[in-house]
Amino acid sequence: MNELIQNINSSELTMSSREIAELTGSRHDNVKRSAERLAADQILTSPLEGFEFEHRGNRYQEYRFNKRDSLVLVARLSPEFTAAVVDRWQELEAKATEVPKTLPEALRLAADLAERNDQLMVVARQQGHRIKALQNLFDGGVTPFEFAKRLNGVNCQKINSALAARGWLFTDSFGNWRASSKARDLYLTERSGRVARSDGRAMVTATPVLLQRGAALLHKLYLHEQLPMKKSWNGVFTHEKALEVGA
């Protein structure tokens, strides 16, 4: 799958949902599900059409997308991988371009390439802000609750219980959330603090906060719909508050 697919009935190049899954490190079924949501919201420019392929003796279906729709889909799935997809499009389109045989053809090709380059530069600038914001998002140092508040649709009130079910957190004898030995120094650490007691003495507290790896994994779980979501969630994966920080 290292080349773009050219439709038989047109000259339009397409990229398959399997190719996108490989580039973004996502499951193919999650890629297809996100594409179906975008199509239902009328965000994609072309209707979805299933194409059969064979894998280990079994037959499955994939979707194929034009350049614009593939970039929209990747921005929904994993914005940090958009640059990789843009690079792949440039590489594969270059292979698909025929060598001009006449001067007029060469001039037309030069104009087309210049226009494509301008379009890609616009995409790169737009994604630059998103990538910077996501880097800020993955810096860690915030509690799971604070991190979940940045993600559209996540039920922040249930995030600690969800992480406890995964073995990341537990409650101590005082009912406080603590980082488990399984997740400590891998996904979480603890931030120490002091709280004044009524008798004037200070009580030491420990608050679980995410490490960079934990923040990245939590975000991946979000994109795969494996975090507790609000019933009112609109099905859109966004990171609006994080993007405001990175702007």
Give the pLDDT confidence score for residue 239 in this predicted structure: 61
- Residue whose entry in the numeric block shows the structure tokens 């101590």: 172
Give the pLDDT confidence score for residue 7 in this predicted structure: 46
DSSP three-state, residue 183: coil
Question: What is the rounded distance in angstroms from the CA atom of residue 93 to the CA atom of residue 210?
Answer: 41
Residue span of the structural domain in which 181 resides: 144-238
The reply to whether 151 and 85 lie within a common domain is no
Total tally of structural domains belonging to the chain: 2
What is the distance, to the nearest Å, from the Cα of residue 23 to the centroid of all Cα atoms in its chain?
Answer: 11
**Which parts of the chain sit beneath pLDDT 70?**
1-12, 80, 83, 95-101, 105-106, 109, 120-140, 239-247
Instruction: Report residue 60 as tokens.
Output: 């499955």
| Buried-exposed string 106-140: b where 16+ CB fall within 10 A, e elsewhere | eeeeeeeeeeeeeebeebeeebeebbebbeebbeb
Percent of the chain as helix, strand, coil, to the nearest 5: 50, 20, 35
Last-in-domain residue among 88, 114, 137: 137
- Residue whose entry in the numeric block shows the structure tokens 């919201």: 41
Whether the pTM exceeds 0.85: the reply is no
Give the pLDDT confidence score for residue 156 in this predicted structure: 93
DSSP three-state, residue 55: strand
User: Does residue 98 sit within a domain?
Assistant: yes
- Using an 8 Å Cβ cutoff, are 17 and 32 in contact? yes
User: Does residue 96 sit within a domain?
Assistant: yes
Give the pLDDT confidence score for residue 98 in this predicted structure: 59
